């Protein structure tokens, strides 16, 4: 059901935005996407998940936008915005982004976030029932407190854990596909420089801070190289 809804949303987005086709960059996005997808298939089959991707419908599009971003919808619909390409700089940088986005799809993060949102709403309903006898002012205080606690104590950390998980899986996939995972460090350093230090504090964000992310990636690179070596891909 989520994939069906995702594909519809993706179709609407593609119709309403300028998709870049027939250029060197658009071809690079597609080629790198296919290589990362093939790496994912190898990795999943090697770990006993032969039919894991049977319902996925992969697409990789380059869309004209001044926003520095890329994203993936459940089921494998991946979009690169044109403004992120200069920061990617080369194929390795694009592979770092593509691996991260494909990882979100493989880990079903969209479904998990939807489930978490539903639980948050259910919890709000339960709190509402529990405080039904209180005054309107007290109800407002309780609901505001509930919203703050669940948002900053649960939802945002949950989303940040998804980003870290996607970084880990993405490094493995890009390495299996033949792209040096150490280049992911340079990419995220360029992303950090591009933000100009204007990112919100980590605890207020859905993403880890640039400093945290780069530190984690450095620690994850040896494991990515070990996994790639199992498929005959060796880096110095």
Question: Which residues are catalytic, by number?
Answer: 101
Question: CA 103 → CA 28, 37, 67, distances in Å?
Answer: 19, 10, 21
Token pair belonging to 37: 């997808």
Residue burial 180-195, b: 16+ Cβ < 10 Å; e: rest: bbbbbbbbbeebbeee
CA distance 194 to 80: 17
Question: CA 206 → CA 25, 154, 215, distances in Å?
Answer: 29, 11, 17
CA distance 61 to 33: 9
CA distance 108 to 113: 9
H/E run at residue 72:
strand 70-73
Residue with tokens 């596909």: 177
H/E run at residue 63:
strand 59-63
- Residue 178's SS3 state is coil
């Amino acid at each position: 059901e989520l994939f069906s809804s995702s594909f519809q949303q993706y179709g609407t987005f593609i119709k309403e935005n300028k998709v870049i086709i027939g250029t060197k960059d658009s071809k690079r996005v597609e080629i790198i996407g296919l290589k990362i997808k093939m790496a994912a298939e190898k990795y999943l089959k090697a770990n006993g998940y032969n039919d894991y991707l049977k319902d996925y419908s992969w697409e990789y599009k380059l869309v004209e936008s001044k926003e520095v971003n890329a994203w993936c919808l459940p089921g494998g619909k991946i979009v690169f915005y044109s403004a992120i390409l200069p920061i990617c700089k080369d194929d390795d940088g694009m592979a770092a982004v593509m691996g991260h986005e494909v990882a979100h799809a493989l880990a079903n993060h969209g479904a998990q976030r939807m489930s978490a949102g539903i639980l948050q709403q259910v919890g709000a309903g339960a709190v509402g029932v529990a405080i039904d006898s209180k005054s309107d002012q007290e109800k407002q205080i309780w609901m505001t407190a509930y919203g703050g606690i669940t948002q900053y104590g649960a939802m945002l950390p949950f989303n940040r854990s998804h980003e870290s998980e996607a970084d880990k899986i993405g490094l493995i996939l890009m390495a299996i596909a033949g792209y040096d995972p150490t280049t992911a460090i340079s990419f995220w350093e360029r992303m950090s420089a591009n933000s100009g230090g204007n990112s919100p504090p980590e605890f207020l964000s859905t993403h880890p801070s640039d400093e945290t992310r780069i530190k984690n990636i450095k620690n994850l690179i040896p494991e990515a190289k070990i996994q790639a070596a199992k498929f005959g891909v060796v880096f110095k």
